[in-house]
Structure 1
Amino acid sequence: MTTALDRLSAVVEKTAPKPIRRSAPVTVETRTAPDKILSKRLAKLTAENVRLKQTAKQRKVAAKPKPKMTKATGTEILTRAIASELIRRRDPLILTDGAALDMVVPKHDKVLRACVEAVLKSDSHTATTLRPTWGEELASDLTAAFIEDVGVASVYGPLAAAGQSFEFGRARSVSFPWRDQNTPIPASWVAENATLPVKDGRFDSSTLNRHKLAVLVSLSDEIVDASVSNLLQIVRSAVVRDTAEAVDQHLTSDDTAISGVRPAGLLQGAANQPSAGNTIAQITTDLKYLASQAIAGRYIRPVLIMHPLRVLGLKMATASDGYFPFRQEIEAFGTIFGVPIIASESAPLDRVAIVSSGDFYTAADTPEFRASQDASIVMLNDDGTDPTMTATNAVDTGGSVKVSDAADVVGGPAQVVSAFQQGLTVVRIVQPMSWVLVRPAAAFVSGVDW
C-alpha cells in the first residue's frame, strides 16, 4: 500500500534536476612541426633561385649562334650539285654514306640540301651531272634563277628581264608573234551607222632556234682533291662569270648570224656614228644622238648599254662651274635622261649603245654539265693562236677537229690527252641560248672616251 510519503518522494524525484554528464576532454591535433619543415624548404628554394639569377647576370652566358644558311639560288644549287658529282667521281666509294653531298652542303642547311638532292637524284651509274630527267620539277625555276644570278654580272640578264624570255624545254625552236611599232593602227572616231575603217598593221612572227655556247674544261685530280671551298669557287666562276662574259661579248657585238651556229649580235647593222668627244657639250651630243634614234624608231623600254668605265666617266664629267651634271641622276636612279643604264665589264669599252628591250626576245635553258674521267680530248682552242681551229668563237662542223684530225690542224699537230692516263676530270659545259631583235631597234656611238 502506497503511503503519502512514497508519493511525495516520487514527485520530488521527477522534478529534481538531473546531474550534468561531462564529456571527455577534446584534444586538437597540431601540425606545427611539418609546417615548419615546408617553410624552411621554401625559403631555401627561394634563396637558391635568387642566387642562380644573380650568377646568370654576372656571367651573361652568350646564346649559341644559329647555323649559317646559304641562300638556295639557281647558281648555288647548280654549283654545289656539280661539285658534289666531281667529288663522287673522284672516289665513287664516298657516295655510300652521302659524304660527297655532306662535303658541299651541311646537313643543317635543309632547304639548299633538298634542292641539290633533287637535282642529283638518279641511279649512281649515270655519267650526267644535270640532264632533263633529273629534278625536272626544278628545271623552270633553275633556269629563271640562273638567268637572274648571271644578270648581276652581265648585260644579258637585265636585258632578258626587260624583254621577252622563253624556255626551250625539249624543243629545238620557239616561235612567237610580234607587232611592228612603226606601223601603228590607231582607232578613228566613227559616227552612228557609219562604216568602221580597216587599217593595215604589220604583224609577224619570229623563230628562236636552239643555239648553244659550249666548252670543255679539264681539272686535275689535285684540284678536285683540294679544299671544297676552292672547288666551289672554281665551279661557280665557270658557271656564272665565264658564262656571262662569253654571252655578253657576242650579244653586244656587231657579229653576223651564222645559220645553225649562233644568232646575230645586237649591234649588227645598227645605226651608229663616232663619238663627238668628252666635254659636257660633246657628251650631250652623243646622248642626244642615241635618244633621237630611240624616239624615231619608237623603241619600247629603251636601255643604255655601256662599260662601267663609261658610267664612271659620266659621273666625273665636270661643267665649267665645277658642277657634275650627270652624277646625281646616275647615283639616285641609275638612269641618264630617264633611260636605265645596264653596265657590264663584258660590254665594249669604246661603245655606248641604246637598245629597245621590248623588241628583245630570248630563250635559254639551265646550263648542262657532264663530267668524264675516261675521255680522250684534243687540246685545241678557237682563239686563233696556233695550233687552232679555223673558226673563232663560232665552231661549225667544217671547223670541228676530231681526235683523228689532230695532226692536220692549222699550226699543228694538236695534243691529244687521255683523261684516265693523266688523272684528269673533263667537264663539258653547254649553255642552250638564243636571241633576236625582231626589228632594227638598236643604235650606238663608237670611239667613246668619256
Structure 2
Amino acid sequence: MYASVANFGAFTKGVVAASRRTGALEQIDAMKRFGNADVQKAVQLTQFDSAGVLVPIQQSGEVIEFLRPEAALLKLGVRAQAFKGELHMGTQTEASVFKWIGEGGTVPKSAPKYGKIVLKAHKGMVLTDISNDLLHTPGVGDAGVGEDLRATVADGLDDAGFNGDGTGGTPKGLFVQLDSAHSFANTGTTPAAYLADIDKAVELPLTAHVRMGATAWVLHPTRATALMQLKDSGLFIFRQEMLDNGTIRGFPFVLTTRVPVTRITFCADWRQFIYGIDEELSLSKHDTRAEYDETTIRAIVKADFKLRQPKAFSSITY
C-alpha cells in the first residue's frame, strides 16, 4: 500500500530509472532519489522476480580463514632434532659418590650409571580429495588447500607433543612423560593457594638442579583468565604483571588451547623437550580419483617427542 498516488508514481519512476543502471550501488541510488527508499530497497534486494533480478552477485576472492590453535611448542623454544628411523641418545642417570673417611677407613665403590632415550618415527598423515575445478579457483586452489594442510599438520604435532598418550600410532607427549614427583594437585583456588602452588612449580626444577634456560609457563587461556581475576584484599595479584610484562612470577608464558584447562605447566628450560622430526612435511598430488574429476592431496610427516630431562618440568593440576 502507498500513502498517495504520488508515492506510487515515484516508486514506478525509480524502477524504470534503476533498470537503466548496471551497478548495485547505482540502482539503490536511483530508487532512493524517487522516494519510498525503505520499501523500494526491500523490493529491489529481496524479491528476485521484481527489481532484485537486476542486482548482480559478486564473489569475493577472499576466503575467511578457519580458526585453529596457534602452534605453541616451537614458540616455547623446544629443541628441534632431525633423525632418521630411530635415534638413541645416551643419558646419565646416577653419579659417583664422594665421601669423607677417617684414618684407615675405606670408601665404598661407586660409579655413574647410564640409560638412554629413544626417538622412533611416528607417521602422521592428512588426505584431502578436491575437485579439479576448485583447484583452479583463486583462494581455494592447490595453494589454499596446501596451506590448510600445513596448518592442520602443525596443529596435530602440537596436540601430540602435549597430549599424545602413546596408543596406536600416536607418540607420547609432555604430560605422559612428566616426572611423577613433579606433577602435583593444587592445594586450592584461594589467592594464597595459587601463590603457594606456583612457587612450588618453580621450585621443583631448581631443587632438581636443572639449569635455567628457555624458561616459560604454558597454560590454557581460561586458566590465565582465572589468574588475572584473582584478588587479595581487593588488589589483583597477577593481572598487572601478566598484562604489562607478559610474565607470571617473572617468567614468560604462552597460551594455547592445546593444553588442558586443568593444568598450569612450568619448565626451567624448554630445550629439554626434544621435538624430533624424522621427515619434514611433504605434500603430494595423486590422481587416484580421476574418474570423479578429483585430485587427492596427501600431507605426511614423521615425528616423535622426548623429554631430555623430565625434572626440568613441573605441572599443577586443577
TM-based fold match above 0.5: yes
- Residues 129-144 of structure 1 mapped to structure 2, 5 A cutoff: none
Q: Structure 1 residue 428: deviation in Å?
A: 1.0
Q: Does 1:249 align with 2:119?
A: no
Q: Does 1:367 align with 2:281?
A: yes
Equivalent-residue separation in structure 1 for 2:275 and 2:177 (angstroms): 19
Under a length normalisation based on structure 2, what TM-score does the superposition of the two structures give?
0.62
Equivalent of 1:315 in 228, 243, 248: 228
SS of corresponding position for 2:231: coil
Q: Structure 1 residue 251: deviation in Å?
A: 1.9
Instruction: Please tell me the root mean square deviation across aligned C-alpha atoms, in Å.
Output: 3.3
CA deviations on 1:214-266 (whole Å, 9 max, x unpaired) are 121122224312214765444323202x22321222222261465xx343121
Alignment match, 1:443: 314
Q: Structure 1 residue 371: deviation in Å?
A: 0.9
Equivalent-residue separation in structure 1 for 2:226 and 2:75 (angstroms): 22
* Bigger relative contact order, structure 1 or 2 (CA pairs below 8 A, ≥6 apart): 2
Q: Does 1:434 align with 2:299?
A: no
Give 1 or 2: higher strand fraction: 2
Contact 1:172/1:210 (<8 A) preserved: yes
Equivalent-residue separation in structure 1 for 2:243 and 2:96 (angstroms): 39
Letter in 2 for 1:157: L
Alignment match, 1:282: 193
Equivalent of 1:325 in 228, 237, 243: 237
Alignment match, 2:22: none
Alignment match, 1:128: none
Contact 1:208/1:436 (<8 A) preserved: yes
SS of corresponding position for 1:348: coil
Letter in 1 for 2:291: Q
> What is the aligned-residue identity percentage?
17
Equivalent of 2:135 in 206, 224, 228: 224
Q: Structure 1 residue 429: deviation in Å?
A: 0.8
| Alignment CA distance shift 1:233-1:280 (3 Å) | farther
Bigger radius of gyration: 1
CA deviations on 1:329-355 (whole Å, 9 max, x unpaired) are 333443322333232222222222234
Letter in 1 for 2:86: S
Q: Structure 1 residue 184: deviation in Å?
A: 5.7
Equivalent-residue separation in structure 1 for 2:185 and 2:117 (angstroms): 32
Letter in 2 for 1:211: H
Contact 1:185/1:200 (<8 A) preserved: yes
| Alignment CA distance shift 1:234-1:431 (3 Å) | same
Equivalent-residue separation in structure 2 for 1:174 and 1:251 (angstroms): 17
- Residues 20-419 of structure 1 mapped to structure 2, 5 A cutoff: 153-159=70-76, 161-162=77-78, 164-168=79-83, 171-180=84-93, 183=94, 200-228=111-139, 232-240=143-151, 242-253=152-163, 255-256=165-166, 261-268=169-176, 270=178, 271=180, 272-300=183-211, 301=213, 302-321=215-234, 323-355=235-267, 356-364=269-277, 365-373=279-287, 375=288, 419=289
